[in-house]
């Protein structure tokens, strides 16, 4: 079976983010045919089309990292009922300059956690809208709005609640199958 490289973007810039814990947990429970690498966003300057003619090195490296993976997993918090500014900035960098959108035909999935009862539902819907515009095929189901409770995920990415662990394993198994379906319908060499 083909192994796919998955780049993951963590919407929070905080080093101790609960979404970072979730991202680590997802890499631990994923099927063996998915390889993961974090694609960091924290060092990107604020995007402006003034950079389109000559991207700064950090932005070029960011776009190259996305080009090097087969799929992208977005793990995001919700800030003020929206996606974090840093994540939106990263998407702007990756989707520009015009005609060089890094997300075109690249399978993606969205997940996030928050202490709130609805998890990151509103932010995820807004992120899905942006990714639709970026022409990224998205795994729309299952949706995953994880309410984070103290101790749910350890710093090492161990999920302490078995029903949550099973849900995350199933989510990642479905993401794996989704990537296969996308590349069956949209071959990379086409």
Mean pLDDT of 63-88: 97
Q: Are strands 145-147 and 71-75 parallel, antiparallel or unpaired?
A: unpaired
Whether the predicted pLDDT of 21 surpasses 90: yes
- Placement of tokens 């350890």 in the chain: 154
**Is 56 in a helix, a strand, or coil?**
coil
What does the mean pLDDT of the chain come to?
96
Mean pLDDT of 26-51: 97
* Percentage of residues in the chain having pLDDT higher than 90: 95
Domain ranges of the chain: 4-185
Whether the predicted pLDDT of 84 surpasses 90: yes
**pTM for the full predicted model:** 0.96
> Residue 179: what pLDDT?
98
* Per-residue pLDDT band at 188 (split at 50, 70, 90): confident
Dump pLDDT digits (tens) for 127-178: 999 999 999 999 999 999 999 999 999 999 999 999 999 999 999 999 999 9
> Is there a contact between 44 and 90 (Cβ–Cβ < 8 Å)?
yes
Fold of 4-185: Rossmann fold (3.40.50)
> Residue 1: what pLDDT?
75
* Per-residue pLDDT band at 55 (split at 50, 70, 90): very high
* Percentage of residues in the chain having pLDDT higher than 70: 99
List Cβ neighbours of 88 (8 Å cut-off, separation of 6 or more): 130
Give the dihedral of Cα atoms 91, 92, 98, 103; nearest 10 deg. Answer: 0
> Residue 190: what pLDDT?
58
């Amino acid at each position: 079976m083909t192994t796919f490289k998955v780049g993951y973007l963590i919407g929070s810039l905080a080093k101790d983010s609960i979404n970072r814990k979730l991202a680590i947990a997802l890499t631990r429970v994923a099927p063996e045919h998915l390889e993961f690498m974090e694609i960091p966003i924290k060092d990107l300057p604020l995007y402006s089309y003034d950079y389109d003619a000559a991207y700064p090195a950090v932005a070029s490296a960011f776009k190259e990292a996305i080009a090097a993976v087969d799929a992208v997993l977005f793990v995001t918090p919700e800030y003020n009922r929206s996606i974090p500014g840093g994540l939106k900035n990263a998407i702007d960098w990756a989707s520009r300059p015009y005609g060089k959108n890094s997300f075109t035909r690249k399978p993606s999935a969205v997940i996030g956690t928050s202490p709130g009862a609805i998890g990151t539902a509103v932010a995820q819907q807004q992120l899905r809208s942006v990714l639709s515009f970026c022409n990224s095929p998205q795994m729309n189901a299952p949706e995953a709005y994880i309410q984070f409770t103290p101790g749910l995920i350890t710093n090492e990415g161990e999920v302490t609640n078995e029903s949550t662990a099973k849900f995350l394993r199933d989510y990642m198994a479905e993401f794996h199958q989704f990537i296969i379906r996308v590349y069956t319908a949209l071959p990379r060499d086409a």
